[in-house]
Amino acid sequence: MAFKAPPRPPPHLCFTGFTIPKARRFRGPTGLTMALKAVHVTDVPSLVQVPVNPSIPRAAAAARGFVLVGHRGKGMNALGSTDRRMRAVKENSLLSFNRAALFPIDFVEFDVQVTKDDVPIIFHDDKILTEDAGKILEKHVTELCLEEFLSYGPQREPGKVGKSLLRRTKDGRVLSWKVEDDDSLCTLQEAFEKVDSRLGFNIELKFVDHAVYQQEELTHALEAVLKVVHKHANCRPIIFSTFQPDAAPLLRKLQSAHPVFFLTNGGTETFDDVRRNSLDEAIKLCLEGGLQGIVSEVRGVFGTPSTVSRIKESNLSLLTYGQLNNVPEAVYMQHLMGIDGVIVDLVDEITAAVSDLTKPASAHEGGESLSGSLEQRQRPNFSQQELSFLLKLIPELVQH
Protein backbone atom coordinates (compact mmCIF):
# COMPACT_ATOMS: atom_id res chain seq x y z
CA MET A 1 0.00 0.00 0.00
CA ALA A 2 1.35 3.43 -0.92
CA PHE A 3 2.24 5.68 1.97
CA LYS A 4 -0.03 8.66 2.42
CA ALA A 5 1.26 11.74 4.13
CA PRO A 6 -0.40 12.30 7.50
CA PRO A 7 -2.65 15.31 8.01
CA ARG A 8 -0.98 18.52 9.04
CA PRO A 9 -0.62 18.50 12.83
CA PRO A 10 -1.59 21.33 15.15
CA PRO A 11 1.21 23.93 15.44
CA HIS A 12 2.54 22.56 18.76
CA LEU A 13 2.71 18.98 17.42
CA CYS A 14 5.58 19.34 14.97
CA PHE A 15 7.22 16.33 13.32
CA THR A 16 10.19 16.18 10.96
CA GLY A 17 9.50 13.90 8.02
CA PHE A 18 8.09 10.49 8.88
CA THR A 19 10.08 9.88 12.04
CA ILE A 20 9.29 9.53 15.70
CA PRO A 21 10.11 12.76 17.57
CA LYS A 22 12.79 12.97 20.20
CA ALA A 23 10.84 13.29 23.40
CA ARG A 24 10.85 15.27 26.60
CA ARG A 25 9.11 14.45 29.84
CA PHE A 26 5.39 15.07 30.27
CA ARG A 27 4.47 18.59 31.32
CA GLY A 28 1.24 17.88 33.13
CA PRO A 29 -1.74 20.06 32.25
CA THR A 30 0.16 22.24 29.78
CA GLY A 31 -0.40 19.63 27.05
CA LEU A 32 1.79 17.37 24.93
CA THR A 33 5.36 18.66 24.61
CA MET A 34 7.72 17.27 21.99
CA ALA A 35 11.14 18.44 20.90
CA LEU A 36 11.41 19.33 17.23
CA LYS A 37 14.48 17.21 16.56
CA ALA A 38 13.60 13.70 15.42
CA VAL A 39 15.16 10.25 15.38
CA HIS A 40 14.34 7.29 13.15
CA VAL A 41 12.12 4.56 14.57
CA THR A 42 14.96 2.04 14.27
CA ASP A 43 17.28 4.16 16.43
CA VAL A 44 17.41 4.09 20.20
CA PRO A 45 16.05 7.52 21.11
CA SER A 46 18.48 9.89 22.81
CA LEU A 47 16.15 11.58 25.25
CA VAL A 48 16.75 14.80 27.08
CA GLN A 49 17.90 13.88 30.57
CA VAL A 50 15.24 14.35 33.22
CA PRO A 51 15.71 14.34 37.00
CA VAL A 52 14.93 11.17 38.88
CA ASN A 53 13.01 11.19 42.14
CA PRO A 54 14.04 7.99 43.95
CA SER A 55 11.82 8.85 46.89
CA ILE A 56 8.65 7.94 44.98
CA PRO A 57 7.31 4.93 46.88
CA ARG A 58 6.78 1.62 45.15
CA ALA A 59 3.13 1.97 46.17
CA ALA A 60 2.82 4.56 43.40
CA ALA A 61 3.06 1.77 40.84
CA ALA A 62 0.03 0.05 42.29
CA ALA A 63 -1.86 3.33 42.43
CA ARG A 64 -1.27 4.15 38.77
CA GLY A 65 -2.37 0.69 37.56
CA PHE A 66 0.30 0.77 34.84
CA VAL A 67 3.15 -1.72 35.09
CA LEU A 68 6.74 -0.66 34.41
CA VAL A 69 9.28 -3.38 33.64
CA GLY A 70 13.05 -2.92 33.33
CA HIS A 71 14.34 -4.67 30.20
CA ARG A 72 17.09 -7.13 31.16
CA GLY A 73 17.34 -5.15 34.39
CA LYS A 74 18.19 -1.48 33.96
CA GLY A 75 18.26 -1.81 30.18
CA MET A 76 19.70 -3.93 27.39
CA ASN A 77 23.26 -3.46 26.10
CA ALA A 78 23.53 -2.13 22.53
CA LEU A 79 27.28 -2.31 22.00
CA GLY A 80 27.14 -0.64 18.60
CA SER A 81 25.08 2.30 19.83
CA THR A 82 26.52 5.77 20.31
CA ASP A 83 24.22 6.21 23.31
CA ARG A 84 26.31 5.58 26.46
CA ARG A 85 23.18 4.69 28.41
CA MET A 86 22.92 1.49 26.37
CA ARG A 87 26.35 0.46 27.70
CA ALA A 88 26.07 1.73 31.25
CA VAL A 89 25.70 -1.55 33.14
CA LYS A 90 25.92 -5.22 32.12
CA GLU A 91 22.48 -6.46 31.09
CA ASN A 92 20.93 -9.54 32.72
CA SER A 93 23.18 -9.22 35.77
CA LEU A 94 22.59 -8.96 39.51
CA LEU A 95 24.08 -5.47 39.38
CA SER A 96 21.64 -4.37 36.67
CA PHE A 97 18.63 -5.84 38.50
CA ASN A 98 19.48 -4.11 41.76
CA ARG A 99 20.23 -0.82 39.99
CA ALA A 100 16.78 -1.02 38.42
CA ALA A 101 15.26 -1.68 41.85
CA LEU A 102 16.33 1.81 42.93
CA PHE A 103 13.63 3.24 40.66
CA PRO A 104 9.83 2.93 40.95
CA ILE A 105 9.45 -0.08 38.65
CA ASP A 106 7.40 -3.19 39.29
CA PHE A 107 9.37 -5.95 37.53
CA VAL A 108 12.65 -6.67 35.82
CA GLU A 109 12.53 -8.79 32.67
CA PHE A 110 15.33 -11.25 32.01
CA ASP A 111 16.15 -14.23 29.80
CA VAL A 112 16.51 -17.74 31.19
CA GLN A 113 18.09 -20.75 29.47
CA VAL A 114 19.06 -24.13 30.89
CA THR A 115 22.63 -25.44 30.80
CA LYS A 116 23.68 -28.94 29.77
CA ASP A 117 23.72 -29.94 33.45
CA ASP A 118 20.17 -28.63 34.02
CA VAL A 119 20.91 -25.31 35.75
CA PRO A 120 18.76 -22.31 34.77
CA ILE A 121 21.04 -19.38 33.94
CA ILE A 122 20.35 -15.80 32.87
CA PHE A 123 21.62 -14.91 29.40
CA HIS A 124 19.94 -13.53 26.29
CA ASP A 125 21.86 -14.74 23.24
CA ASP A 126 21.69 -18.29 21.89
CA LYS A 127 25.47 -18.39 21.55
CA ILE A 128 28.29 -17.16 23.75
CA LEU A 129 31.47 -15.85 22.12
CA THR A 130 35.08 -15.53 23.22
CA GLU A 131 38.47 -14.97 21.60
CA ASP A 132 41.43 -17.30 21.89
CA ALA A 133 44.75 -16.72 20.12
CA GLY A 134 43.10 -14.25 17.76
CA LYS A 135 40.33 -16.66 16.81
CA ILE A 136 36.67 -16.13 17.64
CA LEU A 137 35.06 -19.16 19.26
CA GLU A 138 31.34 -19.57 19.82
CA LYS A 139 29.19 -22.17 21.54
CA HIS A 140 25.49 -22.63 22.15
CA VAL A 141 24.74 -21.64 25.73
CA THR A 142 22.63 -24.73 26.29
CA GLU A 143 25.58 -26.96 25.32
CA LEU A 144 27.67 -25.63 28.22
CA CYS A 145 27.81 -26.94 31.75
CA LEU A 146 27.35 -24.34 34.50
CA GLU A 147 31.04 -24.13 35.38
CA GLU A 148 32.04 -23.31 31.82
CA PHE A 149 29.23 -20.78 31.40
CA LEU A 150 30.32 -18.90 34.51
CA SER A 151 33.95 -18.87 33.30
CA TYR A 152 33.15 -16.13 30.75
CA GLY A 153 33.53 -12.47 31.65
CA PRO A 154 34.29 -10.93 35.06
CA GLN A 155 34.74 -13.40 37.90
CA ARG A 156 33.44 -13.08 41.45
CA GLU A 157 36.41 -14.88 42.93
CA PRO A 158 39.19 -12.35 43.70
CA GLY A 159 42.19 -12.67 41.40
CA LYS A 160 40.47 -15.04 38.99
CA VAL A 161 40.41 -13.96 35.33
CA GLY A 162 37.58 -15.09 33.10
CA LYS A 163 37.47 -15.73 29.39
CA SER A 164 36.96 -12.69 27.21
CA LEU A 165 33.31 -12.08 26.39
CA LEU A 166 32.34 -10.90 22.92
CA ARG A 167 28.99 -10.30 21.26
CA ARG A 168 27.72 -10.45 17.70
CA THR A 169 25.55 -7.47 16.73
CA LYS A 170 22.51 -7.71 14.48
CA ASP A 171 24.54 -6.43 11.55
CA GLY A 172 27.09 -9.23 11.99
CA ARG A 173 29.90 -7.36 13.71
CA VAL A 174 31.67 -9.00 16.65
CA LEU A 175 32.44 -6.52 19.42
CA SER A 176 34.05 -6.78 22.82
CA TRP A 177 31.31 -6.77 25.45
CA LYS A 178 32.50 -3.64 27.26
CA VAL A 179 30.23 -1.65 29.56
CA GLU A 180 30.91 1.07 32.13
CA ASP A 181 29.83 -1.09 35.10
CA ASP A 182 30.51 -4.76 34.44
CA ASP A 183 29.31 -7.77 36.39
CA SER A 184 29.57 -11.55 36.37
CA LEU A 185 27.17 -13.90 34.65
CA CYS A 186 24.61 -15.38 37.02
CA THR A 187 22.06 -18.11 37.63
CA LEU A 188 18.33 -17.84 38.22
CA GLN A 189 18.77 -19.02 41.79
CA GLU A 190 21.26 -16.21 42.47
CA ALA A 191 18.75 -13.67 41.19
CA PHE A 192 16.16 -14.92 43.67
CA GLU A 193 18.67 -14.85 46.49
CA LYS A 194 20.47 -11.56 45.79
CA VAL A 195 18.00 -9.19 44.10
CA ASP A 196 15.71 -6.86 46.06
CA SER A 197 12.85 -9.10 47.18
CA ARG A 198 10.24 -6.39 46.51
CA LEU A 199 10.99 -6.49 42.78
CA GLY A 200 8.89 -8.76 40.58
CA PHE A 201 10.49 -11.03 37.97
CA ASN A 202 9.32 -11.32 34.37
CA ILE A 203 11.08 -14.56 33.45
CA GLU A 204 11.40 -15.03 29.70
CA LEU A 205 12.05 -18.64 28.73
CA LYS A 206 14.48 -18.54 25.80
CA PHE A 207 14.49 -21.08 23.00
CA VAL A 208 16.26 -20.93 19.63
CA ASP A 209 14.22 -19.26 16.89
CA HIS A 210 13.25 -21.52 13.98
CA ALA A 211 14.38 -24.62 15.88
CA VAL A 212 11.95 -27.54 16.16
CA TYR A 213 11.54 -28.84 19.71
CA GLN A 214 10.01 -32.07 20.88
CA GLN A 215 7.65 -31.83 23.84
CA GLU A 216 10.08 -33.85 25.96
CA GLU A 217 12.83 -31.26 25.37
CA LEU A 218 10.56 -28.38 26.30
CA THR A 219 9.23 -30.17 29.36
CA HIS A 220 12.73 -30.96 30.60
CA ALA A 221 13.86 -27.33 30.35
CA LEU A 222 10.68 -25.89 31.85
CA GLU A 223 10.73 -28.29 34.79
CA ALA A 224 14.33 -27.30 35.58
CA VAL A 225 13.23 -23.65 35.74
CA LEU A 226 10.10 -24.39 37.75
CA LYS A 227 12.13 -26.32 40.31
CA VAL A 228 14.14 -23.19 41.11
CA VAL A 229 11.09 -20.91 41.04
CA HIS A 230 9.06 -23.08 43.37
CA LYS A 231 11.92 -23.31 45.85
CA HIS A 232 12.98 -19.67 45.89
CA ALA A 233 10.12 -17.43 44.73
CA ASN A 234 8.50 -17.02 48.16
CA CYS A 235 6.14 -14.05 47.79
CA ARG A 236 7.95 -12.40 44.88
CA PRO A 237 5.59 -11.60 41.95
CA ILE A 238 6.43 -13.76 38.91
CA ILE A 239 5.35 -13.51 35.27
CA PHE A 240 6.49 -16.11 32.76
CA SER A 241 6.79 -15.28 29.06
CA THR A 242 8.15 -16.95 25.93
CA PHE A 243 8.19 -16.62 22.14
CA GLN A 244 8.01 -20.42 21.83
CA PRO A 245 4.37 -21.17 20.94
CA ASP A 246 4.49 -24.75 22.20
CA ALA A 247 6.33 -23.91 25.42
CA ALA A 248 3.81 -21.29 26.54
CA PRO A 249 0.73 -23.55 26.86
CA LEU A 250 2.93 -26.37 28.19
CA LEU A 251 4.21 -24.10 30.95
CA ARG A 252 0.62 -23.23 31.80
CA LYS A 253 -0.16 -26.93 32.20
CA LEU A 254 2.92 -27.56 34.35
CA GLN A 255 2.05 -24.87 36.89
CA SER A 256 -0.82 -22.56 37.84
CA ALA A 257 0.80 -20.36 40.48
CA HIS A 258 2.12 -17.71 38.09
CA PRO A 259 0.66 -16.16 34.90
CA VAL A 260 2.07 -17.12 31.50
CA PHE A 261 2.26 -14.56 28.68
CA PHE A 262 2.92 -15.27 25.00
CA LEU A 263 5.61 -13.09 23.44
CA THR A 264 5.06 -11.94 19.87
CA ASN A 265 6.60 -9.58 17.34
CA GLY A 266 3.03 -8.62 16.52
CA GLY A 267 3.50 -8.98 12.76
CA THR A 268 6.66 -6.89 12.54
CA GLU A 269 8.63 -10.01 11.50
CA THR A 270 7.64 -13.15 9.62
CA PHE A 271 8.27 -16.66 10.91
CA ASP A 272 7.62 -20.13 9.56
CA ASP A 273 5.28 -20.76 12.48
CA VAL A 274 2.16 -18.68 11.72
CA ARG A 275 1.34 -18.50 15.43
CA ARG A 276 4.14 -15.96 15.77
CA ASN A 277 3.08 -13.69 12.92
CA SER A 278 0.24 -11.53 14.26
CA LEU A 279 -1.57 -10.34 17.33
CA ASP A 280 -4.69 -12.19 16.18
CA GLU A 281 -2.72 -15.44 16.19
CA ALA A 282 -1.36 -14.56 19.63
CA ILE A 283 -4.90 -14.05 20.95
CA LYS A 284 -5.95 -17.39 19.50
CA LEU A 285 -3.01 -19.21 21.07
CA CYS A 286 -3.65 -17.62 24.47
CA LEU A 287 -7.31 -18.56 24.48
CA GLU A 288 -6.62 -22.13 23.37
CA GLY A 289 -3.80 -22.59 25.87
CA GLY A 290 -5.37 -20.85 28.85
CA LEU A 291 -2.66 -18.16 28.97
CA GLN A 292 -3.14 -14.92 30.84
CA GLY A 293 -1.66 -12.35 28.50
CA ILE A 294 0.40 -11.15 25.55
CA VAL A 295 3.71 -9.27 25.37
CA SER A 296 3.94 -7.60 21.96
CA GLU A 297 6.45 -5.50 20.07
CA VAL A 298 4.94 -2.04 20.50
CA ARG A 299 5.04 -1.33 16.75
CA GLY A 300 2.71 -4.28 16.24
CA VAL A 301 0.19 -2.70 18.61
CA PHE A 302 0.51 0.79 17.16
CA GLY A 303 0.21 -0.66 13.66
CA THR A 304 -3.11 -2.37 14.52
CA PRO A 305 -4.50 -0.43 17.51
CA SER A 306 -7.93 -2.06 17.18
CA THR A 307 -6.43 -5.30 18.51
CA VAL A 308 -6.11 -3.75 21.96
CA SER A 309 -9.88 -3.86 22.44
CA ARG A 310 -10.00 -7.44 21.14
CA ILE A 311 -7.32 -8.46 23.61
CA LYS A 312 -9.24 -6.83 26.45
CA GLU A 313 -12.51 -8.42 25.34
CA SER A 314 -10.68 -11.77 25.51
CA ASN A 315 -9.87 -11.04 29.17
CA LEU A 316 -6.13 -10.99 28.45
CA SER A 317 -3.49 -8.61 29.76
CA LEU A 318 -1.22 -6.75 27.36
CA LEU A 319 2.37 -5.59 27.85
CA THR A 320 4.67 -4.21 25.16
CA TYR A 321 8.40 -4.06 24.46
CA GLY A 322 10.55 -2.30 21.86
CA GLN A 323 12.60 0.83 21.27
CA LEU A 324 9.54 3.08 21.05
CA ASN A 325 8.99 2.37 24.74
CA ASN A 326 11.98 4.63 25.42
CA VAL A 327 9.90 7.59 24.20
CA PRO A 328 7.68 8.96 27.01
CA GLU A 329 4.94 10.14 24.66
CA ALA A 330 4.70 6.67 23.12
CA VAL A 331 4.43 5.18 26.61
CA TYR A 332 1.71 7.62 27.59
CA MET A 333 -0.25 6.87 24.43
CA GLN A 334 -0.28 3.23 25.49
CA HIS A 335 -1.53 4.25 28.90
CA LEU A 336 -4.43 6.03 27.21
CA MET A 337 -5.09 3.02 24.97
CA GLY A 338 -5.59 0.76 27.98
CA ILE A 339 -2.35 -1.23 27.65
CA ASP A 340 -1.37 -2.70 31.00
CA GLY A 341 2.34 -1.92 31.03
CA VAL A 342 5.61 -1.46 29.18
CA ILE A 343 9.07 -3.02 29.16
CA VAL A 344 11.70 -0.27 28.89
CA ASP A 345 15.47 0.21 28.60
CA LEU A 346 15.77 3.80 29.80
CA VAL A 347 14.51 3.09 33.28
CA ASP A 348 15.63 6.46 34.69
CA GLU A 349 13.86 8.61 32.12
CA ILE A 350 10.67 6.60 31.70
CA THR A 351 10.03 6.15 35.42
CA ALA A 352 10.54 9.89 35.91
CA ALA A 353 8.10 10.67 33.11
CA VAL A 354 5.45 8.17 34.21
CA SER A 355 5.76 9.29 37.83
CA ASP A 356 4.16 12.56 36.75
CA LEU A 357 0.95 10.61 36.28
CA THR A 358 0.86 9.70 39.97
CA LYS A 359 2.05 12.90 41.61
CA PRO A 360 -0.53 14.36 43.99
CA ALA A 361 -1.86 17.84 43.43
CA SER A 362 0.01 20.44 45.48
CA ALA A 363 -3.12 21.68 47.15
CA HIS A 364 -6.86 21.08 47.26
CA GLU A 365 -9.56 23.67 47.53
CA GLY A 366 -11.35 23.89 50.84
CA GLY A 367 -8.53 22.24 52.78
CA GLU A 368 -9.35 18.80 51.49
CA SER A 369 -6.98 16.12 52.80
CA LEU A 370 -4.19 14.92 50.56
CA SER A 371 -4.87 11.36 51.70
CA GLY A 372 -5.30 9.06 48.72
CA SER A 373 -4.28 11.80 46.31
CA LEU A 374 -2.03 9.42 44.38
CA GLU A 375 -5.18 8.32 42.62
CA GLN A 376 -5.71 11.86 41.32
CA ARG A 377 -3.37 11.66 38.35
CA GLN A 378 -1.82 14.69 36.75
CA ARG A 379 -2.14 14.10 33.02
CA PRO A 380 -1.19 15.90 29.87
CA ASN A 381 -4.31 17.65 28.62
CA PHE A 382 -4.76 16.00 25.21
CA SER A 383 -7.60 17.46 23.19
CA GLN A 384 -9.84 15.14 21.20
CA GLN A 385 -8.28 16.56 18.04
CA GLU A 386 -4.77 15.66 19.28
CA LEU A 387 -5.79 12.17 20.35
CA SER A 388 -7.51 11.48 17.04
CA PHE A 389 -4.50 12.78 15.13
CA LEU A 390 -1.97 10.72 17.11
CA LEU A 391 -3.93 7.47 16.89
CA LYS A 392 -4.20 7.87 13.12
CA LEU A 393 -0.60 8.96 12.71
CA ILE A 394 1.16 6.26 14.75
CA PRO A 395 0.33 3.32 12.43
CA GLU A 396 1.78 5.30 9.53
CA LEU A 397 4.93 6.23 11.45
CA VAL A 398 5.82 2.71 12.57
CA GLN A 399 5.94 1.52 8.97
CA HIS A 400 8.86 3.84 8.17
Q: Looking at residues 283-311, what average pLDDT do you find? A: 96
Distance CA 381, CA 378 (A): 9
pLDDT-derived band at 332, boundaries 50, 70, 90: confident
Say whether pLDDT at 387 is over 90: no
Q: Looking at residues 109-120, what average pLDDT do you find? A: 98
E-state strands within the chain: 20-23, 34-39, 67-71, 107-114, 120-122, 127-132, 135-140, 166-168, 174-176, 186-187, 200-205, 238-242, 260-264, 293-297, 317-321, 341-344
Distance CA 184, CA 292 (A): 33
Judged on CB neighbours under 10 Å (0-12, 13-18, 19+), 19 is middle
pLDDT-derived band at 262, boundaries 50, 70, 90: very high
Q: Side chain identity at 306, as an amino acid letter?
A: S
pLDDT-derived band at 229, boundaries 50, 70, 90: very high
* Crossing angle for the helix pair 247-254 and 215-232, to the nearest 10 degrees: 50
What confidence tens digit (pLDDT) does each residue in 10-61 have?
A: 333 222 222 222 333 333 333 333 322 333 333 333 322 322 332 223 333 4
Q: Looking at residues 223-230, what average pLDDT do you find? A: 98
Q: Which DSSP category does 336 fall into?
A: H
Predicted local distance difference test score (pLDDT) of residue 329 = 86
Among residues 323, 320, 326, 316, the alpha carbon closest in space to that of 291 is found at: 316
Predicted local distance difference test score (pLDDT) of residue 29 = 30
What confidence tens digit (pLDDT) does each residue in 156-185 have?
A: 999 999 999 999 998 999 999 999 999 999
Lowest mean pLDDT of 25-39, 256-270, 302-316, name the range.
Answer: 25-39
Q: Looking at residues 312-320, what average pLDDT do you find? A: 97
Percent of the chain with pLDDT over 90: 68
Q: What is the pTM (predicted TM-score) of this model?
A: 0.79
Query: What's phi and psi for 158, nearest 5 deg?
Result: -55, 135
Lowest mean pLDDT of 9-18, 63-72, 312-321, 327-336, name the range.
Answer: 9-18
Distance CA 219, CA 36 (A): 51
